[in-house]
Amino acid sequence: MASDPGPVVQRARLTAELQRIRRDAGKTQEEVARALDWSPSKLIRIEGGNVGISTTDLQALLRYCGITDETQVAELSTLARGARGRGWWDPYKQDLDPAFASYLGYELGASFVRWFSPLLVPGLLQTEEYARALTIEFAPNAPVAEAVIEVRMMRQDKIFSREDVPQQHYVLDEAVIRRRVGGQRDQQIMPRQLNHLLELGSRPDITIELIPFDKGSHFGMRGEFTILEFVSGPAGVLFLENVRGTDLTVADSEQIASYLEAFDHLRQLALPEDESAAFIAAIVAQMNDGEAA
């Protein structure tokens, strides 16, 4: 049985289905709203995912569009109830970038994750001490820093405890593993983080590949990006993160396709999975040798 995809993905699935059902019935938004005695803006907001829909309103909408199959009605009603739920990240929203908070909702229900990072270990792969060392620098305010660290650890738990853990493919620039994050406080933070990457990379649902410096410049130097894909849900999600801020794009097929193509090109520059693991292990050995010296 698949895990609960969370309210964001359930809302996306529901709105896509409601739009399809209305179009298949040959009805315009104005016709449906008039027949159900709704304002047109109500249906527009429902189909846009901006507001939820009650079970009563949903069933009235389905009857008007000719949907009477009990199983289908029950499935859509379940989606409607799930879409009105709260995400696990909601208590932390005041401390999170709005685009990132929305991204977390999509990530929870993703089936495939493709992630390129030029500088930092991706959030889903970070150890708590690595995350803490970063957050102290980026968010020195203690309460905010603790909230960010807690969100990062909970985020990992929510993804890796799923019954259907998403397939994850990470491509990292060599800079990710070279910079000794946390070294001012503990020289072993980075070696432990790299060993954690090696452990995660041995999982069947995780692929980690590395682009060495000697491959030269590449598209990924523009900044970090993540692409989410779904078996059932939005057509795709693109999340961009760099020094200028964050940007979340949902179901823009042209832009997502361009980043999928870029990801494939980055993969061609990267070392194969086994060679990447050997490269990371060699860096761990160098760090440990340097400390011993």
Domains and their CATH numbers in the chain:
7-83 (1.10.260.40), 91-292 (3.30.870)
Question: Which has the closest alpha carbon to 253: 273, 234, 278?
Answer: 234
Rounded distance, CA 262 to CA 65, Å? 42
Mean pLDDT of 143-172: 93
Q: What is the pLDDT of residue 244?
A: 66
pLDDT value of residue 292: 52
Q: How confident is the model at residue 60 (pLDDT cuts 50, 70, 90)?
A: very high
73 pLDDT more than 60:
yes
Mean pLDDT of 112-141: 90
Distance CA 158, CA 189 (A): 24
Rounded mean pLDDT, 88-106: 91
Residue 147: which pLDDT band, with cuts at 50, 70 and 90?
confident
Residue 144 has pLDDT above 90, yes or no: no
* Segment among 73-77, 181-185, 187-191, 232-236 with least mean pLDDT: 232-236
Question: Starting at the edge strand that comes first in sequence, how are the strands of the sheet with 112-117 ordered?
Answer: 206-211, 167-173, 112-117, 224-229, 237-242, 245-250
Indicate if the pLDDT at residue 141 is higher than 70. Answer: no
d(CA 173, CA 38): 53
Average pLDDT across the chain, whole number:
91
Q: Which is more confidently placed, 262 or 97?
A: 262
49 pLDDT band (50/70/90 cuts)? Answer: confident
What pLDDT digit, counting tens, does each position of 225-264 carry?
999 999 877 789 999 987 666 788 887 788 999 999 999 9
For the cut 60, the answer to whether the pLDDT of residue 206 exceeds it is: yes
Q: Is 107 helix (H, G, I), strand (E, B) or coil?
A: helix
Indicate whether 293 pLDDT > 60. no
pLDDT at 140 (0 to 100): 62
Provide mean pLDDT across the span 3-20.
90
Q: pLDDT band for position 50 (50/70/90)?
A: confident
In this prediction, what percent of the chain has a pLDDT beyond 90?
Answer: 77
Q: What helix, strand, coil percent values describe the chain, rounded to 5?
A: 60, 15, 30
Q: What local confidence, expressed as pLDDT, does residue 145 receive?
A: 81
